Chain A
């Protein structure tokens, strides 16, 4: 009898932990405004960011602040990792996150969809200049990437195909900043780095490393990913989110000073150290020139590119050509946002 009572209590406890199945969210049932062309829209969005406030996330913070200025209640929660942020959306604690969760959507059938490509993968292949003057010199040598199954491993596999070489070993070191330090310490001799860390390595050891050419990949690094129930009930909020994001991206590409000016005006990321503050404009200048920011949300073409690219590391299973974009993406808000921005 006591055992049965114990089981009953545990079952109740588990049921209490289960996310609400009706998809109730703060935005549900809220009256929606007309939206578009800078008009205010009523509603709310809870954004889960798997990163911290800094130079590289400043553009997103600006976009979200501009969404707030359109009358939408934006709640931003920061998580230590992208995976945790995605799990917050799956668990119903957030409506939108950033990432490229193809494997999660395919493996779990999770009710989330990608609604806009924000940034494409832009890494630099950095190698010891003396030991590895070109890709051929890395044939049979060790190359270091982020982790097994990551975008950087897919890039390494792509380089092998394109250059007709085979790395002796692909080793894994998590985090571009750790790989940058390892390069300087001599633990790693060839790897992928992002813009800030490649700049850091160049500052520390100006002539020791060089950049090897990479094919234009164009795969998604960051995309807005939304809960489908929230999306169905908040189409206008989603559209405003994309409109303001695209406007911010375009403004930054046009004038990288925009990021620093908007930070000042909106009082964002106020805790940045002076040396990081100085990096804002150069970073956005470089990122804009490198084509990091997607100014059309990517859409079907980006989805097809991602299928091909992420299937290299089995993040997407099956024949890439036969996969349905609609199984991973919801193109509705994207089309509306492009139309509103007059870019379509």
Chain B
């Protein structure tokens, strides 16, 4: 309790002292996050032990398979195949998608031409479209790159477009008051203001790119981590199959979290957690 009326309340003031009271805020945050993960894993374990289905393994069995596949290099070999189309696809989309989004945000003609296309693309059933890619791009590397582009482009383009369009009017007016040229206004005012949304689009685009790469491996040619899922499913080794799926979640989550950290460090330091 703060007691005196005018004194500024201290952080944590008003809380009852208890088990959490002595812990710093960061530790409490981490404990809650860890608790959330443990709770989900506990429910998974329970579901596997009931079992919910004969094909649903326990978490411990999946973790064992995960460890084995990590140790014997199965994951390393699979991700070495999956990462190629993913990196090329996301790199191409990052360059082309951000450029398209920025153009659409700055030019009404480009907006009129591009926005409906990408909104429709965002709503399109990707899993149904991906097998059709083979008719144009065959079954090789190009088809998988295209699958990554297909899934990651809409979110990158539309986020960049919205970032540009949401630039605060006061900032634009200020640049006009200071007689900034068009390029100075874009380069020094609009792009920095839109960078947060653009980077968020890149992060979400990478997540979509992961989905595209794995879908292509499941639906076109079973290689990389998609092959692991297909193979272990055909062998009824469901603990290994779930371990492969879990690995996608882990890799995607870690990559996206790292990108979020980078985004905060470079563009939005004010959001950094202490």
Contact = CB atoms under 8 A, between A and B. Distances in A.
A174 interface: yes
Contacts of B236: 101, 103-104, 106-108
A185 interface: yes
Interface string A287-320: 0000000000000000000000000001100000
Interface stretch (B171-179, B194-202, B205-213, B222-230): B222-230
B131 interface: yes
A104 B53 CA distance: 13
Given A147-B231, A178-B220, A14 B238 contact: no
B50 A149 contact: no
B15 to A, nearest CB: 17
Given A90-B53, A178-B220, A150 B134 contact: no
A177 B234 CA distance: 20
Given A15-B50, A182-B134, A314 B235 contact: yes
A5 interface: no
B234 A147 contact: yes
A14 B43 CA distance: 8
A247 interface: no
A148 B231 contact: yes
Given A147-B222, A148-B222, A148-B227, A14 B235 contact: no
B231 A14 contact: no
A18 interface: yes
A338 interface: no
Nearest to B42: A7
B52 A14 contact: yes
A187 B139 contact: yes
A11 interface: yes
Interface in A39-71: none
B233 interface: yes
B166 interface: no
A159 interface: no
Interface in B135-159: 135, 138-140
A108 B55 contact: yes
B134 A91 contact: no
A104 B232 CA distance: 11
A118 B21 CA distance: 69
B47 interface: yes
A17 interface: yes
B245 to A, nearest CB: 14
B229 to A, nearest CB: 11
A129 interface: no
Contacts of A15: 50
Interface in B32-81: 39, 42-43, 46-47, 50-55
B221 A103 contact: no
Contacts of A74: none
A147 B231 CA distance: 7
Given A87-B53, A173-B139, A185-B138, A149 B231 contact: yes
Interface string A91-108: 100000000010110111
Contact of B221 (A101, A107, A173, A315): A173
Nearest to B47: A14
Given A14-B52, A18-B52, A147 B43 contact: no
Q: With a 10 A CB-CB cut-off, give which of B52, B54, B134, B135 has the most chain A CB atoms.
A: B54
Contacts of A182: 134, 138-139
Given A7-B43, A178-B220, 11 more contacts: A14-B50, A19-B53, A83-B233, A108-B236, A149-B234, A150-B234, A171-B221, A173-B221, A174-B219, A174-B230, A178-B139
6 tightest CB-CB pairs across the interface, nearest first? A107-B236, A103-B236, A104-B236, A148-B231, A149-B234, A187-B138
18 contacts: A14-B43, A14-B47, A14-B52, A18-B50, A19-B53, A83-B233, A91-B53, A106-B236, A107-B235, A107-B238, A110-B54, A172-B221, A172-B223, A173-B139, A173-B221, A178-B131, A187-B140, A315-B234
Interface of A: 3, 6-7, 10-11, 14-15, 17-19, 83, 87, 90-91, 101, 103-104, 106-110, 147-150, 171-175, 178, 181-182, 185, 187-188, 314-315
